[in-house]
Every structure is written in C-alpha cells, then in structure tokens.
C-alpha cells in the first residue's frame, strides 16, 4: 500500500480536515504526492510574480503566469489556515501525462463523493480542472490539474 513521505504528510496536515480525510483515503489506493498545502503570503507572491514584471506602477504579464492570486489583495485558497486547497499529483510525477492526472482527478472526486455521502466529510471537493464543478472541463480559460479545494 502506498504511503505519504514526511514532506507530503506535513503539507497535508496544513489543510482543511476534509481535504486531509479525502487524501488520506486516496493514498490507500493511489500513490500520490502533496506539492502544496498552506502557502504564506510571501510564497504566494513569489508564484504570482512568475511571468510578470513590475513597471513601477503595475505588474505586467511578460510570459506564462502561474496564478492571478498575489496573496495580499487577492488571496488564494492556499493562503488560509487551515488551507482550503491542496495541490496533489500522482506519483511518480509526470507533468506530460495529463491523461493520467485527469484520471487521478476523477478517482479523487469519486472518493470525496463517497466520503461525503458517508458523512465523513462535509464539503464538496472541487478540482482545478473544473472550477465550477459542472463536469465540463472545456469551459475554463485556466486549468490547474493538481489543485483541489473545498467548496464553501
């Protein structure tokens, strides 16, 4: 049976209890790694700066951006304590195998739906592949396959 590394365990422990319950159930069947749980404002701002430059007045996009959340004026679900989001991917990580990641998302959401039906979690778990959870993944301009968050 797969098990989380100490780093993944630590990151998952910073997340909302429902996310912890879901991913502690997922790891029993599918090996995965936690990339992010809680992020400080400073860590979030460093991600925000990717693909942007400060011109003295505003941040201008100069390349591929990672997030539109700066951690200060515009918080990410990762910036709360406990974190309302985690980034989790199948292990071993293969960023090119997006089909595997999408299959993993379906597995995670199936586990989450079962746990909610059993009363073990209280929130829906949404994926960054389908931000509005309408089952259509092509109606979004931005896709974040590792991202899972609780719907408040």
Same domain for 50 and 28: no
Same domain for 46 and 23: no
| Domain around 67 | 40-75
- Is 136 among the domain residues? yes
Same domain for 23 and 65: no
pLDDT, one tens digit per residue, over 88-130 is 999 999 999 999 999 999 999 999 999 999 999 999 999 999 9
C-alpha dihedral, 7 to 11 to 12 to 17, nearest 10°: 150
Residue 3 clears pLDDT 90, i.e. is over it = yes
| Residue in the block written with tokens 């591929």 | 64
- Report the half-sphere exposure of 149 (CA within 13 A, side-chain side): 20
Same domain for 117 and 57: no
Mean pLDDT computed over 72-99: 98
**For residues 35 and 7, what is the distance between their CA atoms, to the nearest angstrom?**
9
Residue 1 clears pLDDT 90, i.e. is over it = no
Same domain for 90 and 32: yes
Same domain for 30 and 44: no
Same domain for 87 and 143: yes
pTM here? 0.95
Same domain for 27 and 91: yes
CA nearest neighbour of 148 among 67, 87, 71, 79: 87
Same domain for 51 and 25: no
Same domain for 142 and 95: yes
**For residues 70 and 51, what is the distance between their CA atoms, to the nearest angstrom?**
13
pLDDT, one tens digit per residue, over 126-147 is 999 999 999 999 999 889 999 9
Number of separate domains in the chain: 2
**For residues 72 and 65, what is the distance between their CA atoms, to the nearest angstrom?**
17
Same domain for 59 and 112: no
| Residue 27 per-residue DSSP state | T
Counting every residue written for the chain, the total comes to 152
pLDDT, one tens digit per residue, over 6-30 is 999 999 999 999 999 999 999 999 9
Helices (H) and strands (E) in the chain, counts: 4, 6
């Amino acid at each position: 049976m797969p098990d989380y590394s100490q780093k993944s365990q630590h990151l998952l422990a910073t997340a909302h209890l429902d996310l912890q319950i879901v991913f502690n159930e997922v790891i029993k069947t599918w090996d995965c790694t936690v990339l992010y749980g809680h992020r400080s404002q400073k860590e979030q701002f460093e991600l925000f700066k990717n693909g942007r430059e400060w011109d003295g007045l505003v941040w201008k996009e100069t390349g591929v951006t990672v997030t539109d959340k700066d951690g200060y004026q515009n918080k990410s679900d990762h910036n709360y304590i406990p974190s309302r989001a985690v980034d989790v991917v199948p292990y071993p990580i293969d960023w090119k195998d997006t089909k595997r990641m999408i299959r993993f998302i379906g597995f995670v959401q199936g586990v989450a739906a079962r746990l909610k039906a059993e009363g073990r979690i209280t929130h829906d778990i949404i994926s960054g592949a389908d931000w509005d959870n309408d089952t259509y993944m092509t109606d979004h301009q931005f896709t974040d396959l590792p991202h899972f968050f609780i719907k408040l």
